[in-house]
């Protein structure tokens, strides 16, 4: 009877698997703060992507970990940069069987670890960064991404990327905007995952955890600029924001069940303090119950297998 009347479903197609690929990896490198997640080589990324697609996930979100960093994140726009090369590999391997997404952000590629380029005073320069994002978006579209995920929280980023894509005949490439992204402590393990160079914080461009109304304004702006889907991030500590976004957004809403949320459950499960599978499924169900259409989660492939009919 519970099954008959259950209000919330989690389907494999609603899950998106974030994956890391490292330029200098000769073999998959474990990420100690994210047990079970690795920095892939190009080959292991391809294999893991095929497995995830076979499990039924709806999409893959790819992050690149370059071998070298510089002030403007050149590796992000270079067609031989690790992320662009990996996107080309995956599109060739998977065709259009799954939605191939790319993180459109500079932080993995910069030597200061910020999501944008810096001005002479060392502050993130919003408008100079937009130019860089447009170039990065074109490189990712050329490499075969179906959907771009601008995650840097620069003002105007969606509009600039949309125009650049349209002008270059990439009208079919969509934008999955990280619209409501909070300056969160839960990103901790991700910094290890991408070998982040960041000192300091992202408070000049990411949101204050106390603000909910601001999230809706960010979503409204991104939709007006051409976002095809919007995202709330993190997910678990922000389910009220996910709910508000779901009720007001005219486009599909994703929620990112981020690295710190993954690490908490994995750590407690490893100690035998939580039942891992039950906890993971409860987390995913709760994010869906809050109203997310899609969930980015490091458990996507495994959960998809659990949820297969």
- Interior CA angle at 276 toward 275 and 279, to 5°? 80
By CB under 6 A, residue 258 contacts ligand PBG: yes
262 belongs to an annotated ligand binding site? no
**Which of 235, 210, 206, 201 minimizes the C-alpha distance to 218?**
206
Place of tokens 């447009």: 134
Residue 238 to residue 248: CA distance in whole angstroms: 16
> Is 203 assigned a catalytic role?
no
Q: Which is nearer to ligand PBG, 2 or 16 (CB)?
A: 16
Q: Which is nearer to ligand PBG, 122 or 308 (CB)?
A: 122
**What residues contact residue 45 under an 8 Å CB cut-off, 6+ apart?**
19, 21, 62, 86, 89, 90
Number of residues that bind ligand PBG (CB under 6 A): 10
**Which of 179, 210, 190 minimizes the C-alpha distance to 108?**
190
**What is the H or E stretch that residue 30 is in?**
strand 29-30
Q: Is the Cα torsion angle 183, 185, 190, 192 positive or negative in sign?
A: positive
**Which of 185, 187, 180, 234 minimizes the C-alpha distance to 207?**
180
Return the residue of 187, 205, 238, 299 that touches ligand PBG, per CB under 6 A. Answer: 187
By CB under 6 A, residue 151 contacts ligand PBG: yes
N- to C-terminal Cα distance for the chain? 18
Min CB(7)–ligand PBG separation in Å = 28
163 belongs to an annotated ligand binding site? no
Which tokens in the block code for residue 121? 């005073």
Min CB(262)–ligand PBG separation in Å = 7
Q: Which is nearer to ligand PBG, 133 or 187 (CB)?
A: 187
By CB under 6 A, residue 259 contacts ligand PBG: yes
Give the three-state DSSP class for 101.
strand
Q: In this chain, which stretch among 99-107, 244-252, 277-285, 300-308 interacts with ligand PBG, using CB under 6 A?
A: 99-107
Which tokens in the block code for residue 190? 């991700």
259 belongs to an annotated ligand binding site? yes
Return the residue of 20, 170, 182, 190 that touches ligand PBG, per CB under 6 A. Answer: 190
Q: In this chain, which stretch among 51-59, 103-111, 128-136, 218-226 interacts with ligand PBG, using CB under 6 A?
A: 103-111
Min CB(119)–ligand PBG separation in Å = 20
> Is 271 assigned a catalytic role?
no
The torsion defined by the Cα of 224, 187, 55 and 266, in degrees rounded to 10, comes to: -150
Q: Which is nearer to ligand PBG, 105 or 165 (CB)?
A: 105
By CB under 6 A, residue 195 contacts ligand PBG: no
202 belongs to an annotated ligand binding site? yes
Binding-site positions for Mg(2+): 218
Binding-site positions: 191, 202, 218, 259, 298
Q: Which residues bind ligand PBG (CB under 6 A)?
A: 103, 105, 107, 115, 151, 187, 190, 202, 258-259
Q: Catalytic residues, which ones?
A: 181, 233
């Amino acid at each position: 009877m519970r099954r008959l009347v259950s209000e919330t479903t989690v389907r494999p197609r609603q899950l998106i698997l974030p994956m890391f690929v490292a330029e200098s990896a000769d073999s998959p490198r474990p990420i100690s703060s994210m047990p079970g997640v690795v920095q892939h080589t190009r080959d292991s990324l391809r294999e893991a992507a095929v497995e995830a697609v076979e499990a039924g996930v709806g999409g893959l979100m790819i992050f690149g970990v370059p071998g070298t960093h510089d002030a403007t994140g050149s590796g992000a726009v270079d067609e031989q940069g690790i992320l662009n090369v990996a996107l080309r590999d995956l599109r060739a391997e998977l065709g259009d069987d799954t939605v191939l997404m790319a993180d459109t952000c500079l932080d993995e590629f910069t030597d200061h670890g910020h999501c944008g380029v810096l001005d002479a005073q060392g502050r993130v320069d919003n408008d100079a960064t937009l130019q860089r994002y447009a170039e990065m978006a074109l490189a990712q579209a050329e490499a075969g991404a179906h959907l771009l995920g601008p995650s840097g929280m620069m003002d105007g980023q969606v509009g600039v990327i949309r125009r650049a894509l349209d002008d270059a005949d990439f009208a079919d490439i969509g934008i999955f905007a990280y619209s409501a992204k909070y300056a969160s402590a839960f990103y901790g393990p991700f910094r290890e995952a991408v070998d982040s160079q960041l000192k300091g914080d992202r408070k000049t461009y990411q949101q204050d955890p106390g603000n909910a109304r601001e999230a809706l304004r960010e979503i409204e702006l991104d939709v007006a600029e051409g976002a095809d889907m919007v995202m709330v991030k993190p997910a678990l500590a922000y389910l009220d924001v996910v709910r508000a976004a779901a009720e007001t957004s005219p486009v599909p809403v994703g929620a990112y069940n981020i690295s710190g949320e993954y690490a908490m459950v994995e750590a407690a499960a490893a100690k035998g303090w939580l039942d891992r599978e039950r906890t993971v499924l409860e987390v995913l169900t709760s994010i869906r119950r809050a109203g997310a259409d899609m969930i980015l989660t490091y458990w996507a492939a495994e959960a998809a297998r659990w949820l297969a009919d």
